[in-house]
A and B are shown apart, each in its own frame.
Chain A
Amino acid sequence: MATPSPRFNPIRPAGFLLLFTGWVLVLSALVLLPNPSARAGFTAAGVGVELLGLVLVVRSHIAPKPERH
């Protein structure tokens, strides 16, 4: 039997999508930008998108107080 989980939270898949999108941005920076400073900036932007996604995923797992075990 699956672990009982709180109701579906649409923020969660959105957060995972942002995590993956940030990684794709980092890869794109490597492939598309030969200039080192532009590549570093674009990579930083990708990591920023990933951090935003991580925050969303973490927040989506914090249960409202009455639902805690």
Chain B
Amino acid sequence: MTTPVLSESQTLLCAASLLIAPLACAGLALINSGLGRARSAAHTMTAAMCAIAVAACVYVVCGRSWQGFAGEAARTLTIGGKSWNWIGAVPPFLSGISFDGSPALLAAWMGMIAVGLASLIPLGTGSERWRLASICTSTAVLAGWTFPLFAHWAWGGGWLAQLGVNYGLGAGFVDVGGSGTIHVVGGLTALTTAWLLGSRRGKFGFDGMPAAIPGHNGVYILFGSLLALVGWTGLNAAGALLFAGVLPGRLALIAINTLLGAASGALGAAAMTRVRFGKPDSSLTANGWLGGLVAVSATCAFLPPAAAILIGLAAGALVALCVELFELHLDIDDPGGSISAHAVGGIWGLLAGGALGRFPGGNSGQVLAQVVGVATLLGFVLPMTYGLNWLIDRFQGHRVAPDAERQGMDLAELGAGAYPEFVTHTDDFMQR
């Protein structure tokens, strides 16, 4: 596979898109903080900052060398007469890259932002009970191994990207904006975190019914969602230029589809909660907005706008239903709704995008290529990330002590609260 070449205008547009992409991380951090309780708000934001810091450093140290870029050195296996490119083999610390605006350099920059975003997804799920030290270790594993491995397969010219060339499956696995690479990988890590941590104290009563623990700041949640849209548009545009080779003329379509996905996702979730609960729920509407963004990201460069609306609407409704299903029937305590918005929304987007997209080389076999990608996420990434996080839990311990959980994460882990001038009452935290 040859290294893609970007024109000067493509390079400038890609760099401009990447400049705004970190706003997606800022938005997600605000959403996670708003969906938690006030006594853990500072901890949630500090954890977000630490996770982004650890992810960026570990990615540069070793993650980027596993991920690589199309056309760079990689390890391959020959199976059935076909070459299976399974892991990158470029030098660590970004050595070997020329710092002249080359596509490989831009891809490394995008990888740093993408892995930071992926590392924030489990934080929403583990909110209010996950130790800061364990968050950093889990993020290091995600940024140093899990994310780069799948990113190499999908973005770095790996075997998933070559399904079209090797086996005639459309354009190969298409994941322009990272629905699978960022969001499903992060969402499945969030799922394993929820399983290993267990629920927050007081979440489930002795009768098994979940108690409502509302987030402490709806404005953070909704503003974070709006901020995420800006960053997401940049991330999708940069991904399309780098990994799908689209021309600058397509960027308007990418921005339109990204906005349509978010908008229809929010409407789908608002309508679903209006039907089920009598009133639209603001935090689930925000989760629907995110779910729509996640879902359209996979094929945003190749979707007709009508398809983007359809995918977003279904994603929003699906996210609202899954949040309820996970909490009521599967005992999964996910305060941020991360598993529903990112894992479920991402899987839906990968499959629906493959069916409804209009791809350059034709659509024949595209759905099968997307199914193979989703099967890899469920059959390989999920068991691997569960095993790695289980090991971290055995050796380091994920969960804070019960007393610290009662006290609140801000005081227990940081020694100071986010809102020191406010008097808070903690009767919502009585043991049932």
Contact = CB atoms under 8 A, between A and B. Distances in A.
Interface in B378-424: 378-380, 382-383, 386-387, 393-395, 397-399
A17 to B, nearest CB: 8
A46 B208 CA distance: 34
B368 interface: yes
Given A1-B397, A23-B375, A30 B195 contact: no
Nearest to A51: B378
B198 A69 contact: yes
A62 B329 CA distance: 9
Contacts of B397: 1-3
Contact of B372 (A4, A19, A21, A30): A30
A69 B382 contact: no
A5 B331 contact: no
B79 A31 contact: yes
Contact of B368 (A2, A5, A21, A39): A39
Nearest to A54: B378
Contacts of B393: 2-3
A10 interface: no
Interface string A30-69: 1110001001100100110010011000100111011011
Given A2-B394, A43-B368, A32 B80 contact: yes
B399 A3 contact: yes
B196 interface: yes
Contacts of A62: 330-331
B371 interface: yes
A62 B332 CA distance: 8
Interface residues of B, number: 42
Given A3-B196, A30-B372, A23 B379 contact: yes
B383 A68 contact: no
Contact of B380 (A23, A36, A61, A68): A23
Interface in B200-215: 200-208
A19 B80 CA distance: 24
B365 interface: yes
Interface residues of A, number: 33
Contacts of A50: 375, 378-379
A47 B203 CA distance: 33
Given A3-B398, A5-B198, A50-B379, A26 B372 contact: yes
A66 B198 CA distance: 14
Given A22-B379, A50-B379, A68 B372 contact: no
B206 A65 contact: yes
Given A23-B380, A61-B331, A46 B375 contact: yes
Most buried by B among A19, A24, A61, A68: A68
A16 B381 CA distance: 11
Given A1-B397, A23-B380, A26-B379, A63 B331 contact: yes
B242 interface: no
Nearest to A49: B379
B199 interface: yes
B331 A19 contact: no
Contact of B383 (A1, A16, A58): A16
28 contacts: A2-B395, A3-B198, A3-B393, A3-B397, A3-B399, A19-B378, A19-B379, A22-B375, A22-B378, A22-B379, A23-B378, A23-B379, A23-B380, A24-B379, A26-B376, A30-B167, A31-B79, A36-B365, A46-B379, A54-B382, A58-B330, A62-B330, A63-B331, A66-B206, A68-B204, A68-B208, A69-B198, A69-B201
- Sort A-B residue pairs by CB-CB distance and give the 7 closest, nearest first: A23-B379, A3-B399, A31-B80, A68-B204, A26-B375, A16-B383, A1-B397
Given A3-B393, A68-B199, 19 more contacts: A2-B395, A3-B399, A5-B198, A19-B379, A20-B383, A26-B372, A31-B79, A31-B82, A32-B80, A39-B368, A46-B375, A46-B379, A47-B371, A54-B378, A58-B330, A61-B331, A63-B331, A68-B206, A68-B208
Interface of B: 79-80, 82, 163, 167, 195-208, 330-332, 365, 368, 371-372, 374-376, 378-380, 382-383, 386-387, 393-395, 397-399
Interface of A: 1-5, 16, 19-24, 26, 30-32, 36, 39-40, 43, 46-47, 50, 53-54, 58, 61-63, 65-66, 68-69
